[in-house]
Structure 1
């Protein structure tokens, strides 16, 4: 009986170590592309064309359509670059999306309106991370891509400055 108990405990420990190790390795993987699918409310991390992580995402309060101007509460659609990181933003960690690009600027200039900016991938408003299970059920940002703080920690580690991001309808 003691022998079986020892084997069960040892087997459990080996399994726990393997699970921790595989989780750690997945968390250490670097993305060479980020894809956001607004219709699915998901952010995907990819490496060599294969998705290795997926996260629930919330968008601007008016999620359908491409961002047209400042204050329209839409999340842009198109190809951009994650071009800077801010560990001390008003939201739990923020990675800047290079919106507006040259096409967005030209379109806004032609219509004589400001394109808006400061579009980020970020966690929850500082001090409100506990609300993520509820907040992530709604599109609540002014045009950013929001994830839970726990998910933002993984994204933060997996994404380097210069990583391309494609935001799809």
Structure 2
């Protein structure tokens, strides 16, 4: 019985160390934004197709499969509904130290979303990002729609999108 307890304790300590290392290990620096000639000017997200297409002057630069909020049908209405918003937005912030592998913030909620939510007495939600996989998930892409309303890509695709996308890029999200 003591041997089993010691083996369990060693295993538990090793597992906690591995989890801590994966979560808090020094992250590599975020890729630099590409020069103007290699940037994109538009991101199209087609929710029904689960596809992100990044373009420059209409030419496709990157196309990727995506995951959405856990309740992807329809437009985002309120905080916690698991929906990804629909509309035209702008990349308004970049977070290299996010809880996910890099993240590009979109400027949701828009004034119309805020007004609608105020009329209904609800919170429209916010903090909608295009991001990679959760930190600590190494070499995997989570299946299905699992975010709280964000748009998720593989880590490799997110690193490429990050390097191509300047702040101010238009993001169009279609149903």
**Given the alignment of the two structures, is residue 70 of structure 1 paired with residue 76 of structure 2, yes or no?**
no
**1:53 positional shift:** 1.3
**1:49 positional shift:** 1.7
> May I ask how many residue pairs the two structures share in their alignment?
140
Q: Supply the distance in 1 between the matched residues of 2:106 and 2:173 (Cα, whole angstroms).
A: 10
Instruction: Name the TM-score, length of structure 2 as normaliser.
Output: 0.77
Q: Which has the higher helix share?
A: 1
Judging changes above 3 Å, is the alpha-carbon distance between structure 1 residues 36 and 129 closer, same or farther for their aligned structure 2 residues? farther
Judging changes above 3 Å, is the alpha-carbon distance between structure 1 residues 103 and 138 closer, same or farther for their aligned structure 2 residues? same
**1:46 positional shift:** 0.8
Q: Secondary structure at the match of 1:105?
A: helix
Corresponding residue for residue 159 of structure 1 = 165
Instruction: Name the TM-score, length of structure 1 as normaliser.
Output: 0.80
Gaps of 5+ in 1: 1-24
**1:97 positional shift:** 0.7
Judging changes above 3 Å, is the alpha-carbon distance between structure 1 residues 129 and 43 closer, same or farther for their aligned structure 2 residues? farther
Gaps of 5+ in 2: 1-33
Give RMSD over aligned pairs: 1.3
Match of 2:156 among 150, 153, 160: 150
